[in-house]
Structure 1
């Protein structure tokens, strides 16, 4: 019932649904992550921001899709489109917005089947392999999205190179993509994926085995 006002970077909003579940952050009672993520998505008109926020919150295990669904249906319907978009993106199993963009691109194809996202991969010798971002199981094709933001660091880049080598040593054909080329040249990326997929259909498949990873 109080008039909302701003103070510096703080934006105050009215609500009839005060969060009962809270955490104490020093002197401040704060809402649980699911409520915070939901409110942030509703406050934005940028669907990509919402997708990135929800995916990261779920992947960092700050919250779950179940709790976010609860917030979606318990909160106001007004301006809930961005929250719905974020939940839908995280529900695909994507670990980043770039992966989600790639999944949407693959769905346009009349050639490519539905891929597995971030499956658990085991080599012919039973040793666990690095997780590919997308996996086309019928031909054993791995797709990796290499983001400069996450792989530019020296240790991260070393791990990326080792992961690519481990897949190659197990006989796995892989395609490496960047988020930028997925956004800027989607048709070229899709054509590249389709060409590689079709070429692998005429070759013996790698003995690597994939198990779908459950979405939290």
Structure 2
């Protein structure tokens, strides 16, 4: 299975990261709400709702990247996650993971360090199909078109975190049914994320490649 995934998803690795970069580069984001330095932006087009959440933390960008790259730890700060299992590591920067709760997802996770000074760290997520993991009666299989984190290093070990999601109609009800609810949900989630990062800012020097 490991070799099969490596062959089948080579083009998906590039598309995964490229799609996140294109979403992040959009210039028509609308600031919808802001609370305690957590900002929610939305973008509606082609019958889809895209959203961006931004916050800042007093944690080094490399450490933020390492902590958020380990999707198995996301349940520590995101109440939407009950569990996340690594299905296969395609290489040190790409893996396929299974997330499960009432809805489950099969996600290709790709992480990239900056290529040049001033570039962000990237953690890109998108749904993929694996014959070995078909939908089951126990869970409603969801789809993520494009999601992920852009992590920018700033001065004095401050880091700007931007989270993006291009939501499908099937995912939106799982998150919230209105913008007000969406704002409240993401404020709570990213306040928890900031606390998680602060509490663990000294806990890791590096991650083994098998964790992503």
Pick the structure with more strand per residue. Answer: 2
Band of TM-score, shorter chain: under 0.3
* TM norm structure 1: 0.24
Q: Give the number of the structure whose alpha-carbon radius of gyration is greater.
A: 1
Highest RCO, 1 vs 2 (Cα 8 Å, sep ≥ 6): 2
* TM norm structure 2: 0.24
